[in-house]
Structure 1
Amino acid sequence: MIKALIVNKFPLLWIVFHLVLGISATFSPIPMIVWFYLVIFSSIGLLLKKTANPVILLATILYLISFELLARMARTFPFIPYELGKYLLFVGMIWGIIRHKTYGKEGWIMLLCLIPSVFLDESGLVSNVDLIFNILGPINVALAVIVFYKQQITPRQFATLIRLMLYPIIGVLSFTVIKSPSFDQVEFALGANVDWSGGFGSNQVSTLFGLGALLIFVMMINRWTFSGYLLLDGFLLFALSFQGLLTFSRGGMLGAVVGIFVILLYLRTAPYKAKIKFRLPKVGKYVLPAIFIAFSAFYVVNELTDGLLTLRYQGETAGTLQGSKVKSLNTVTTGRFDIFLGDVDLWADYFFTGVGAGASRFLRETMTGTVAHVELSRLLAEHGLFGLIYFLMLCILGWKIMKDHPNPMHRGILVAFFVVAIYTTFHAAMRTFVSPALIGLSLLAIRTPKKNSNIPVAKKKDDSNKVLVPIK
């Protein structure tokens, strides 16, 4: 099945299939479970086949982990693990290290930085579940660095990876649309709204829809095939933005804006010679439609909510409007700033060793008992100096991305993915697959095949749907 998804002979059919899969999940978890294991078992042969190119493995893992949220919504546990992305990414990256040549030595340093905190618990309250919940996200980021870093990939292969991640997000979109109530049944308030996120965590749904909006924009601006129809791609971009804004959870949607801004910045500031050499699209050709779609979605939702959406993005709450609370950085960030300060205070007391993985929420004086939403402060509080080194290694990798890749389009996309990945850790920590997946993608080396290469290239305007590996 993964080969059929990669070849993508019928792009519109696959979009419809995943839309229907999302709708079916509102009635029963069985179709989701059957499809998930059908993809796994039908792809084992390809994954076991000896090849120097890890792209098939990366495609399979990125596609399957993107089902994480839809699997939770469909209540597929225990047949599909609740934290699917964490476990599957961990197994896939380990297999990648065993099976393929890797180059990300920085990832090994990051892994070593995480080891001491596993054997430390200053609170005495951390269970095995707490430990796995907190440590597996950073581990997966380190493993993604090891496996993805400097892996050679062509633009059409990169487009395929993005497309495979989009399919499950489209399924989540149809699920939330079906589950959403009519507008006259809901009274909007200045807080996250689970009614419009399919009854699930609005922050996670918003993060996923923001990611989907960014990925579709990348497909459109590069003229890579998703549905095969530009208007339909534009409609899907609008739908993801519209439904994401309705959740009233700001993090994910702002992430999409940040990512798109970074890409357009690189295109706008590209030297004239680079624009000619790499045939870069005119920024205005895509800026105006993107702005129109984003503004239209925001305007419609704002009108439907009687202006509450604008107040929400201004950081207002019911308390600040009534005068019972003072608008501050903590109210704007919905308590995340207090969590950050509490973690920093813990780091001051346990500078070298930290308090141990998962222990900060039990020892923090502010927002005690609340899990960290800012991964940087959690790394400092729980891993001490080693957590700081871990984060600095990530920053070094980000700097390298900014220096590599002569094509401004490719560099802009990879930097955007890295920036959005780090941004996501500041409002959703590393609890989902988004940060590890985007960091991994940002570290790939996109190389256009030379004309004298032995790899046959289809003579088409858009060959992004072709098989990922060289044809022998």
Structure 2
Amino acid sequence: MDKIDKKYITLILLHVAIGVLIFYIKPLSKLYGFAILLYGLYYVVKTQNRNNEVLFASAYIVGSEVFLRMTGGNILYEFSKYGVMLFLAFGMYYSGFSKNSIPFWVYLLLLLPGVIVATETLNLESDLRTSIAFNISGPACLGVAAIYTYNRKISFSQLNNLMLTLGLPIVTTVVYLILYTPDLRTILTSTGSNPATSGGFGPNQVATILGLGVFIFFTRLILASKSKLLFAVNLILLFNILYRGLVTFSRGGILTGFVMIFLFLVLLYTNIGSYARAKLYMLFIFVSFALVLTWLYTSSQTGGLIDKRYANQDAMGRTKESKFTGREEILASEIDAFMDSPVFGIGVAKGLEIRKEKTGEIITSHNEISRTFAEHGTMGIIALLIVFFTPIFLYLDNKQNIYIFCFLIFWLMTINHAAMRLAAPAFVYSLSLLKVYIDEENPVHRQ
């Protein structure tokens, strides 16, 4: 075992151990959360961000967010978004930012009218500061992250290491889920998403981060498995993450991970030579076979319920009337709200308040696009267009970043089923703006 293999396996085992310890000693989760913040601050201040250390600190926070939420380890519920903004503010202090990042300054300014309108339209019984902060923290995090990463140079090997930093806490999450989840046959009675298989936490958010983990360890399987041992380790990690993601019965995050993998393979194929393509074919066939086996195993463990879930059927095999678990009604209400106030919108968090007044229930939006339309109006539409088209324009001069469309699609698909409740879509999106250059460790152009 060489030095690189040993270091990698040590990191994996460390994060396995963290998951085991926190499962048996729950209060350690708080200590883990504080340690992430304090060590991150020490790491960044000591290095003064000479090698984009703030990105690595932020990536680790993003990867650990769901785990800390499900184990009660977060300092604040929205700590991850604020933590990312804090670290990237440090990064801008030490390393500045591109003067060409104007589109994202405009993006942040376009969000302000919705906040101002909210101060006038929200009812007095609402906690104004909390309501606005909950809904605006995700978009604000995206804006700050994008300003820092816009055209910032990073090597391809650094980017891969950054993704590993994001993926390590996901390993911890999976270990915790393995220990937490009882025998599936005793708890699965329907095809609905199930908190019992997602650490007692929201299946949607858990599946989102696990889908991202599937993508991360798939890319490591292809690009960073330089020995048979590393290949075996990455393969085991990949299919454990996939299995745990599938049994949450929340589809959005897992489907997003597979779309990212498809885009990655397309861009990788166009960046390698004929000999490497032949090896990629063989690897793809092997991994596809393993994926099928994972699905068959999941199907047997769930008594065929996973097949019905992805076929949009109930436990009896009947096709469900709604493909989106009733979210169409929320979408319709947000379109109506946009039609009522098409320029500046109805104000941040007002949509939630309107639904509570009509139904008596607190029903949060799962779709950040329709929420932005309703609460920010035309200003919000322009803001979303800036976010969507900027990476596409940058790709014309940034084709070494073969992950660029993977990161973009993660943001786009995630905000359609999980809004921006996690820091992940904001941070991962910002990675699509990095200016990637090829270094001596780059495996993509190797024959």
Does the alignment reach a TM-score above 0.5?
A: yes
Query: Does structure 1 residue 427 correspond to structure 2 residue 417?
Result: yes
Question: 2:31·2:73 contact (CA, 8 Å) conserved in 1?
Answer: no
What 5-or-longer segments of structure 2 have no aligned partner? none
Corresponding residue pairs, total: 433
In 1, distance between residues paired with 2:12 and 2:405? Answer: 28
What residue number does 2:429 align with?
A: 439
In 2, distance between residues paired with 1:227 and 1:443? Answer: 33
In 2, distance between residues paired with 1:337 and 1:311? Answer: 21
What residue number does 1:20 align with?
A: 17
User: How far is 1:380 from its partner?
Assistant: 0.6
What residue number does 1:116 align with?
A: 113
User: How far is 1:64 from its partner?
Assistant: 2.4
Query: Does structure 1 residue 370 correspond to structure 2 residue 342?
Result: no
In 2, distance between residues paired with 1:342 and 1:8? Answer: 53
User: How far is 1:185 from its partner?
Assistant: 2.2
What residue number does 2:241 align with?
A: 240
AA matched with 1:426: N
In 2, distance between residues paired with 1:70 and 1:395? Answer: 29
Counterpart among 320, 330, 337 of residue 328 in structure 2: 337
1:66-465 mapped onto 2 (5 Å cutoff): 66-77=63-74, 80-103=75-98, 104-121=101-118, 122-124=121-123, 126-127=126-127, 128-223=129-224, 229-268=230-269, 270=270, 274-276=271-273, 282-317=279-314, 321=318, 327-328=320-321, 331-364=322-355, 369-407=362-400, 410-411=401-402, 413-449=403-439
In 1, distance between residues paired with 2:377 and 2:359? Answer: 18
In 2, distance between residues paired with 1:342 and 1:355? Answer: 12
What 5-or-longer segments of structure 1 have no aligned partner? 1-6, 450-456, 463-472
Question: 2:193·2:248 contact (CA, 8 Å) conserved in 1?
Answer: yes
Question: 2:29·2:72 contact (CA, 8 Å) conserved in 1?
Answer: no
**Greater mean alpha carbon deviation, residues 389-398 or residues 226-235:** 226-235
AA matched with 2:92: I
**1:387-436 deviations in whole A, cap 9, x for unaligned?**
101101012123224433334xx32x221111112110000001102101
In 2, distance between residues paired with 1:195 and 1:417? Answer: 30
In 1, distance between residues paired with 2:42 and 2:72? Answer: 29
AA matched with 2:109: L
AA matched with 2:347: G
More helix by share: 2
Q: Secondary structure at the match of 1:400?
A: helix
Q: Secondary structure at the match of 1:371?
A: coil
In 1, distance between residues paired with 2:102 and 2:443? Answer: 38
In 2, distance between residues paired with 1:440 and 1:19? Answer: 28
Residues 83, 405 of structure 1: alpha-carbon distance in 2 compared, 3 angstrom cutoff: same
Residues 60, 8 of structure 1: alpha-carbon distance in 2 compared, 3 angstrom cutoff: farther
In 2, distance between residues paired with 1:403 and 1:327? Answer: 43
User: How far is 1:310 from its partner?
Assistant: 1.3
User: How far is 1:167 from its partner?
Assistant: 0.9
Question: 1:70·1:172 contact (CA, 8 Å) conserved in 2?
Answer: yes
AA matched with 2:14: F
Q: Secondary structure at the match of 2:117?
A: coil
Residues 39, 197 of structure 1: alpha-carbon distance in 2 compared, 3 angstrom cutoff: closer
Residues 72, 312 of structure 1: alpha-carbon distance in 2 compared, 3 angstrom cutoff: same
AA matched with 1:439: Y
Residues 184, 392 of structure 1: alpha-carbon distance in 2 compared, 3 angstrom cutoff: closer
Residues 137, 8 of structure 1: alpha-carbon distance in 2 compared, 3 angstrom cutoff: farther
In 2, distance between residues paired with 1:280 and 1:245? Answer: 30
Question: 1:25·1:31 contact (CA, 8 Å) conserved in 2?
Answer: yes
In 2, distance between residues paired with 1:139 and 1:347? Answer: 21
Question: 1:113·1:387 contact (CA, 8 Å) conserved in 2?
Answer: yes
Q: Secondary structure at the match of 2:414?
A: helix
Question: 2:49·2:91 contact (CA, 8 Å) conserved in 1?
Answer: no
**Greater mean alpha carbon deviation, residues 45-54 or residues 14-23:** 45-54
User: How far is 1:286 from its partner?
Assistant: 2.9
In 1, distance between residues paired with 2:230 and 2:266? Answer: 26
Question: 1:401·1:415 contact (CA, 8 Å) conserved in 2?
Answer: no
In 1, distance between residues paired with 2:108 and 2:79? Answer: 21
Residues 186, 151 of structure 1: alpha-carbon distance in 2 compared, 3 angstrom cutoff: same
| TM value normalised by structure 1 | 0.85
User: How far is 1:226 from its partner?
Assistant: 11
